[in-house]
Structures are given as structure tokens and as C-alpha cells.
A and B are shown apart, each in its own frame.
Chain A
Amino acid sequence: MKILHCPLNGPRNISEFVCGGEVVEMPDPGAATDADWSDYVFGHENARGTVREWWFHVPTAYWFIAERDTGTDEILRTYPASEIFGRVPP
């Protein structure tokens, strides 16, 4: 069983987590073409190398980001989502 380091709770069995998929930037819905939007919703890069992924610690309902090497399955770093997301205008 793999171990994932949760930024809030420390190292835990990966069975305590749910993977939320790759971190993908949402295009501006007003400016994006239909094709751009479809690609955002359905297209996935699935590349070999370092990717940023969403992970959710179920017992604490906590989303964070993990950088993982998809070739070696090594988790390189985990950190709170606030490191890369700012507030949207309400």
C-alpha cells in the first residue's frame, strides 16, 4: 500500500485518499471556443513525467495538490491548493 503525505495529516495509507485527477486550468468560459471547452472537459494529457494532481483526504475532507512522476509513481511533493489558486471574483 502506497503512502501519501497529506499536508494536513502527514503520511497515510493511500486508501484514505481519493484522486481528483490532474490539475487543469479552466479556460475563460466567455472567451473559449466550443472546441476549447470540450477539450478542457474531456481531453486529458496523461503524459509521462511530473504531473500535478488533486488529492482528497477523506477523513478530513481536505483537498490538496501532489506532484507525482507518472513514470515511476513517485510522489515528489504535496502542498495546499492555496499555493496556486487565488480568489475568484464572487
Chain B
Amino acid sequence: MTGEYRLPPSSGERVDRSRSVRFTFEGREFEGFAGDTVASALAANGVSTLSRSFKYRRPRGIFSLADRDTNALVQLPGEPNVPAAVREIEDGMEVLGQNYAGSLERDRGAWIGLFSRFLPVGFYYKAFYRPSGAWQRWEPVFRARAGLGAVDPAARPARFDKKYGYHDAVVVGAGPAGLAAAAAAAAAGADVLLVDDQPAPGGTLTHARFGVDRAPQEERLRALVAAVEEAPNVEIATGAVCEGWFADDWLAVVQGRRLHKVRAKRTIVATGAMEQPVVFRNNDLPGIVLPSAAQRLIRHYGVRPGNRAVVVTAGRDGYAAALDLLDAGVDVAAIVDLRQHPDPSPEASAVAERRVRIIAGHTPSEARGHGRTGRVRALKVSPIAGTGRFGTGGETIACDLVCMSAGTMPAAQIACHAGARLVYDRTTSGLRVDRVPHGILVAGAANGRHGLEPTIADGRRAGRAAAAALGLEAEDAPAAPAGPGRVRNHAWPIFPHRRGKEFVDFDEDLTVRDLTDAVDEGYDDIELVKRYSTVGMGPSQGRHSATNALRIASGAGGGDRAEIGTTTVRPPVSGEKLGVLAGRSFEPVRLTPMHRRHVEAGARTLVAGDWLRPAFYGPETERDRLIEEEAAHVRAAVGLIDVSTLGGIEIRGPDAAAFLERMYTFAYRRQPVGRLRYVLMCDAAGTIVDDGVACRLGEEHFYVTATTGGADRVHREMLWHNAQWRLDVDIANVTAAWCGANVAGPLSRETLGRIAPEIDLSTEAFPYLGVREGRVADIPARLLRVGFVGELGYEIHVPAGFGEALWDRLMEAGAADGIRPFGVEAQRLLRLEKGHIIVGQDTDGLTTPMEAGMEWAVRRGKPFFVGGRALDVHDKTPLARKLAGFVLSDADAAPPEECCLVIRDGEIAGRVTSAMRSPHLGRVVGLAFLLPGDAEPGDRFEIRRSDGGAVSAEVAPLPFYDPDNARQEA
């Protein structure tokens, strides 16, 4: 059984009656057809309550059957807030309502509705904001009670992605205007994307009724759809929501799990209009819907929306809807027309012919519902006595369906994202799109057009205008039909009741009183009313509340509706999943050519900038022992470390030395070819930002290294400075082109000698700080004698394609010497024993060379270098701190963590920057910032550890190891 409300099949319906689908709602089994949505399948079975409301827990059902009514958000396993009007049913789907305790029909929390008069707007904040801290205590309680669905932390991940698209024109909305616009733009030669959120194009043509007879509109629909389907330059995306417009005509179109990032040269907004509710007591009961919702049920799903209906209208559309209801076998008890003197129209005559009562000049004043389901069972209708007032008399009409609309509001969110505003128009008594920015065209009902032909003509106009703006010639089109076809709205469809419960905003359960209270409390600006009352902030984003809220805010405040304006409209148009925003994860990782060899050797890796580097080789559990062993092996024999992550920058050209003189603090003009020299870079404020070495490979050629992760920034800074200096140099970032390994230790000369027969490695021929070019294992190489770890060593740089081979050959060559790879942790220890700083660890965002004890690397008196002038300024104030070496007094103490505070006489006097246990000294050594007067060897101080305990330390001269540098210069 697929529902007692199912109508006989009709053309244009979206369900496949040959395939039934079984699902459960609230534990009960139901059956629908393939193509049914959760809401339509339940409606076919007579279920009208889908969820409970956000604040008062009132039973709610479908309202618009489009977009994201809060009233129709349901819970699926692992997926909250699913729009029941959009999500198609699947076999075995388990659907639950939302916002209730116990069961949907008997919510244990519904008592709160009885206290609604004690829950005025702003209640929670007012009542619980003081005393300080109270809100933090109460908030979780309210959050648990307030909506919406439940998130399942165990939900499985899914694949989402993003894709760029590029089109001459993007038409949002494939209704009559959108179809006409797309066809017109395409006919002129534009490449068009037509986007629609429904499964099939057609928009209102698929469900609404234009005129007494439906046959002409069906023919019109076929022709419009055929025109775009046959055009080779129109791409049609159905089931796709344009969620927003962003800078420079960038449209976010979500289709399934893909976000299309579409660049549109012209955007045509043809998203139609939204019917607006009449505000009266209990206007939120299940069974009270917009006429279009009833029409969608009939046309798309073959579902009879009720048995006995009252249609509430203020225009021609309500009569057309009544005809649809009659055709579907619904008994239309009455049409209640808010107007005193309805315009004669063919639809009205047709309705009258079918003996439907027309009650003009009346409004619903109260609806009454069934005790159990809440569904509407009667509507009280009263004569309108004045603006927003109803009089005595009238009657009560039994019904289970109320279709109400007081007019429409343009669905022009996309245009509003781009800067258009919705303004109140006195001639139509409703909102109109104004100040549409360049590049955007609004067409059809979104542009205030009413009736089929004016809407189509307006779409065609927009399509042709878009093409013309792109320099494309449109073929001659027939003249637009006469008559503007403008929308008209009822000026004040709001009828407060002395007992309240006339809902303006269904999402947030806001009544007329809540809004007038907000205005009375002084929130007279519409943006303030919104923030204070939360009107328009729920899932439907003011689709059904903005116009009435504006009326109330202006009426209550005595302001002018046209001047009060509307609130800012922001993306997204509907809800987006976080997965759509995240897409695939693109996080580039850089690996050195030797990286896989480290992994094969059991290295634990650490992240350094974008790079992965070996921390040490072996299991994590033996970390400390392995690091000490690796370090000790370098001191005693020979070790090998991958230094490929060091930045490499080639400076070539006649001004190369002059350029380095300006970029770095040291002096380079007289640096001999074949020698390397330390480089220290400061920023304009005199702060240390990078260091490395400069190898002079030729009179006009330097090869400069930068810190791991610093290369891109250093390169960028160099280019920026030289964009101003315009020296004759070429600056090339060759970090990835060159890789390197440092073979270090007393046996390194033996190891390297075996595979570098052409290069004389003797101290005399290749001294400390020398640079040579030659071949290592027949690979072209640059060899640098540097002393970062404080032992005899050679840094061998080769083109990256040869990196792994170099590593292999060095490991083979060193086998006889017991060579062993060492990681970044051992290197940090070895350099600390030598007192070398690491920029960024032992310096911070304010450290000058003077504070770091590196005056030796600053050549004062040069005409200019970056930061030089700032250092002159620093010289005029006393040094605030100084980096110094220390040893812990207690030989057995564990090293303090970096950034632990230095305490002197109970006051903070500095901080630790590096500390490790030195196997060589058998003590913990480190570097710390100290007050300058307390930084002489022998000065004692205390370090406060992370656990709060204290440990005493003593300033020690640097370096801790091999002060004469005899080992590294060997």
C-alpha cells in the first residue's frame, strides 16, 4: 500500500509507480514509490506531522515543500537536519522526526509551549546572563533542549570534491524565465550553464497553474525545455543548488557531493518568488501550507494533499490553486479572499462555476487542530475590520487543509549576495529587488513579474541582454506581450489574536508579540530586530518571514517600510554540508630524494615546514637512547644526515656580491672564490629572520643556503628587494633542484675519499669553510666544508635526480668505517654542544644579532644592508636580554622544556630556548635568554619547569664542546 492519498497517475509526475520503496518513520513502516521524497511519501500515507518546533515543541509538517523548511527537517542515521521535502526515500531508510523527547506525537517537552508567555524574545539571555558565568552553566541545558538534529560522531567519511567551471552566462533557476533566458543567451552564441535545484527543469510550470486550462502551459513547458535541451551550448545541471555569489562572479553550485566553483561572465537570477504566509493564531498547524506545496504534492508526486480545504488568498493565484485542488478530488470548502473587492478573473469565474464559496474581505483569525496529530481540523474566519484587525462574527469551517498565500517575495538571494537589496515597494505592497550590481541580471518572478507570458518575456530579455553585454548578437525576438504583469501583495496580512500564537517565523517560533516587543525595547533598526529576536536566522533564512517582519518592524516603530529596508542576505542559500566546503584535502608534502631510504632504515619522521625529515632511526620507545647513540657515533666515527631540506638559492650576475652585501649582515665583496661564509638575514626592524652559508662558486656566482622551510620566504624577500634595487643579478630558488647529505665525523674523510678520487680532501687542499665542485661517485657535486655539528665533515650537494644514488654510494663507501645515518634530533644535540643557534628556535620575532651574541656576523659601516639602520637605532638603547649557554647544576636532572621561564630573585628574567642532555659532558646543556647583567659565565639562576618545580643552572661559556674548533677544522 503506497498511501490512501495517492492519486491516479498523471503525466509529469516524478514517481515511478512500478517500483515501491519501503522505509520507516518513527519506527512505523511505510511504503512509497521510487522518486518520492520523505515528505511526499508520508503525505501519501496521511502523515502530516514531521517534526516539532524549535522552541515550543509544536507539531509541524510540510509548509512549502521546497528548500529547507525547519518544519520538515528530519533525522536519518548519522545525518541530522535532512530536508524531508528534498531527500528521496530509499529502501530500508530509517527516518525520525526532530526536536522531541519520547515520541513525536507525545513529546514530553511540549509543556514548554504552555509557558510561552513567560518566554519572551531575548528571554534566555536576559534571564541567564547574570551573574557572570551563569550562561556558561545553563547553555548546555538549553542546547540539549533546543534543536535541531543529532550528529553521529561515528558517521563514516564520504568522498566530496570540487570542480571549477567557466561559462559566459549562468542562469540560476530553470523555471519559465530561466528557460527562456538560457535559450535566448544560447541562441546568441553564449556558452550557458542552467542550474536548478529540482530533479527536472520547468520550475513553477511543473506544478503551478497559469490559467483555467492547464493544456497550454504544458505545451509551453515542453517547448521551453526542448529549446535548451537541443541547444548544444547549454549545459543543464538539475538537482544542483547555487548556494552563493562571491567576488568577481564566482558562483558556488552544489550538486550531490561536489562543489562546482563556477565563474560566470554574466549571472541571470531567475529563481522565482516565494509565497508569503498569512499571520493568524495557530497558523503553524500541520495541514496549513502554501498553495504551491499542495500543488507540488499533486503534480510531482500524485498525492492528494487533503480531503477538505480552505484556500486563503489575496490574488488570482489562490483561485488557480483551488482549481488544482478540485481537479485532485479535494473538496474546497471556501476561498477566503483578504481583499474586500477581488478583481474579476477567469480563474475566479471558473471557481465560482464549480460552486465554491468565496468569502471576500475576511481573514482566518484562528486555526484549531486535532489533539493527537495536531493537524488542522477547523479554521475560524472573521471579517477584516481594519489594518491588522478582525471583527466579530464570521464562521468556523471544518477542514483538514488550509492553503494560504498573501502574495510573494522575490527569491533573489543570489543577486543580494552580489550587492542588490530588497526594498519595500508601495505600488506592489511587497519587496522588490533594487540596486542590482553590474554583471547580474534578475528575471521573471524574481524580478517581480507575474503571469506566464510576462515572466517568459522577461527571461528572454535577460538572456538577450547578457549575450549583448558579452558582445554577442541576438537574433530578432518577438516583442514582449503587453502589460507589465506585476505582482501584487496584500499590504498587511497580519492579524494578532489576544491569545497569541500567530507565527511570523516558524523556524524560531516567533510571534507578532515577539517582534513588537523587540521594537518596543528600542531595537528599531531591522538589523537589530533580526539579531535580538533571531527572525530570519533559522534554516529557511527569512524566506517566509522577512516581508511580514519588515511590516511589523515598521508598523510598530512608526517608520516607513520603504526606508526601514531589509536585512543583509548572505550565502549559503540553503544548508551546506561541511564535506562540501572541505572537498578533497590538498596538503602538499615535500620529500627529499633520500626519504624512502630513511623510511626503509626505520626512521621516525618529523614535520619541518612542508617537509618530512628523519627524527631518528629506530623505534619510538628507544628515542632518547637512539638520539644519544647517533650523536655519539658522529663524534667517534662517521655519520650521515640528509640535508636536502636546506634552502638553496643561486645568485648569479655581475652584481651578485653587491646584492648579498645588501641582503645579509656580513661582508661578501672580498670573499674568495672557493670559500663559503656565514649569512645572517635581518628584516627591516633588525630582527634575525634566517641564516645559512654563501658559497662563492665564481666571481659572479654565489650558492646560498637558507633554513629548512625558510627558502621560499627568503627567495620572495630577495626578489621583492631586487624589484626595487634592480641590481643585475638573477635570483633562482633551487631548493628542490639540489639535494644534499652531510657526512660528518672523524672518519668522514676516509669514507668520502673512497668515492671522490678526483677531489683532494686533505686539510691543506680543502680546508674548513672551503667549497669545491667535482664528482662524487661519478655524480656532479658541490662539496662544502661546514661545521654545524662540530666535527670534520663534508656537505655534498648534488642534483636531486641523483640524490638517492648519492645516499646509497655514501652508505656503501662508509660501511668499512661503520657509517650510520643520524636524524634531525641528533643534529640538534650536536649543534647545541657547539653553541650554534637555530633561527626560530633560539630566536624569536624580536631577536637582534646583538641579543643573540652574533655581532661578529654584522659588518657595520657597509653603505646599506636590510635591517642595518634599525640596528643603529637599537644600539642607542641598552640590551634588553642576551642569549647565553647554561648547564644544569644537578648532573642527573632531566632537561627543562623549551620556553621554561628563567627566575632570578623571584622575578621572571628570561626563558630557555634549547636544552638537551649532552652525552659528551654528561650534563644537561642549553641556551637561554637572560638579563644582560646576569649572563656572564658562573652566574647562577633558576629555571621553573613545566610541572612547577625548579632546577638550578649556571651560565657556561660557549661552545660546550671543542672550544678551539680543532675537530671541525681537522
Contacts and interface: CB of A to CB of B under 8 A. Distances in A.
B733 interface: yes
B720 A29 contact: no
Nearest to B261: A1
Contact of B864 (A18, A29, A54): A29
A87 B725 CA distance: 5
Contact of A42 (B685, B720, B725, B876): B685
Contacts of A1: 246-248, 250, 261
Interface in B639-661: 655, 658-659
A86 B722 CA distance: 10
Contact of B723 (A2, A3, A26, A63): A63
A29 B727 CA distance: 19
B719 interface: yes
Interface stretch (B106-114, B199-207, B499-507, B866-874): B866-874
Contacts of A46: none
Contacts of A85: 723-726
B873 A38 contact: yes
A56 interface: yes
A29 B724 contact: no
A63 B724 CA distance: 10
A54 B720 CA distance: 9
B726 A63 contact: no
Contacts of A34: 872-873, 876
A41 B720 contact: no
A21 to B, nearest CB: 10
Nearest to A27: B869
A56 B720 CA distance: 9
A82 to B, nearest CB: 7
B715 A41 contact: no
A75 B719 CA distance: 23
Nearest to B657: A90
Contacts of B720: 20, 54, 56, 63
Given A1-B261, A63-B720, A88 B726 contact: yes
Interface in A53-82: 54, 56, 61-63, 73, 81-82
A81 B726 CA distance: 10
A41 B682 CA distance: 13
B852 to A, nearest CB: 20
A41 B869 CA distance: 10
Nearest to A88: B725
Nearest to B658: A90
Nearest to A3: B248
Contacts of A81: 723-724
Nearest to B252: A1
A90 B655 contact: yes
B878 to A, nearest CB: 16
A32 interface: yes
Contact of A37 (B726, B864, B870): B870
B716 interface: yes
B921 interface: no
B246 A61 contact: no
A44 to B, nearest CB: 13
B246 A41 contact: no
A26 B868 CA distance: 13
Interface in A10-39: 18, 20, 26, 29, 32, 34, 37-38
B726 A2 contact: no
Interface in B812-871: 864, 868-870
Contacts of A18: 716
B893 interface: no
Nearest to A2: B247
Nearest to B249: A3
B684 interface: yes
Contacts, number: 63
Nearest to A11: B248
A61 B719 contact: yes
Contact of B684 (A41, A86, A87): A41
A85 B727 CA distance: 11
Contacts of A56: 716, 719-720
A12 B250 CA distance: 12
Q: Which of B248, B261, B715, B869 has the most CB of A within 10 A?
A: B869
A51 to B, nearest CB: 17
Contacts of A86: 726
A2 B248 contact: yes
A38 to B, nearest CB: 7
B859 to A, nearest CB: 15
A86 to B, nearest CB: 6
Contact of A41 (B659, B685, B726): B685
Contact of A88 (B685, B719, B727): B727
A1 B263 CA distance: 9
Nearest to B712: A58
Nearest to B661: A90
Contacts of B685: 41-42
A40 B683 CA distance: 13
Interface string B724-761: 11111000010000000000000000000000000000
A80 to B, nearest CB: 9
Contacts of B719: 56, 61-63
Contacts of B723: 54, 63, 81, 85
Contacts of A26: 724
A35 B182 CA distance: 63
A68 to B, nearest CB: 13
A54 B43 CA distance: 61
A13 to B, nearest CB: 9
A40 B715 CA distance: 23
B870 A41 contact: yes
Contact of B715 (A54, A61, A82, A87): A61
Nearest to B716: A56
Interface string B667-687: 000000000000000001100
A40 B655 CA distance: 27
Nearest to B729: A90
Residue among A54, A62, A85, A90 with max Cβ neighbours from chain B (10 Å): A90
A41 to B, nearest CB: 5
Nearest to B656: A90
Contacts of B248: 1-3
A90 B727 contact: yes
Nearest to A23: B724
B952 to A, nearest CB: 39
A41 B870 CA distance: 9
Given A2-B248, A85-B726, A88-B725, A37 B869 contact: yes
A32 B869 contact: yes
Nearest to A75: B248
Nearest to A73: B247
A48 B889 CA distance: 59
A88 B866 CA distance: 14
Nearest to A62: B719
A29 B869 contact: yes
Contacts of A32: 869
A82 B655 CA distance: 18
B254 to A, nearest CB: 16
Contacts of B655: 90
Contacts of B684: 40-41
A4 to B, nearest CB: 9
30 contacts: A1-B246, A1-B248, A1-B250, A3-B247, A3-B248, A18-B716, A29-B869, A32-B869, A34-B872, A37-B869, A38-B873, A41-B684, A41-B870, A42-B685, A54-B720, A56-B719, A61-B716, A61-B733, A62-B719, A82-B726, A85-B723, A85-B725, A86-B726, A87-B725, A87-B726, A88-B725, A88-B727, A90-B659, A90-B727, A90-B728
Give the top 4 A-B pairs by smallest Cβ distance, nearest first: A90-B658, A87-B726, A29-B869, A81-B723
Interface of A: 1-3, 18, 20, 26, 29, 32, 34, 37-38, 40-42, 54, 56, 61-63, 73, 81-82, 85-88, 90
Given A29-B864, A63-B723, 12 more contacts: A1-B261, A3-B247, A18-B716, A29-B868, A29-B869, A56-B719, A81-B723, A81-B724, A82-B726, A85-B723, A90-B658, A90-B728
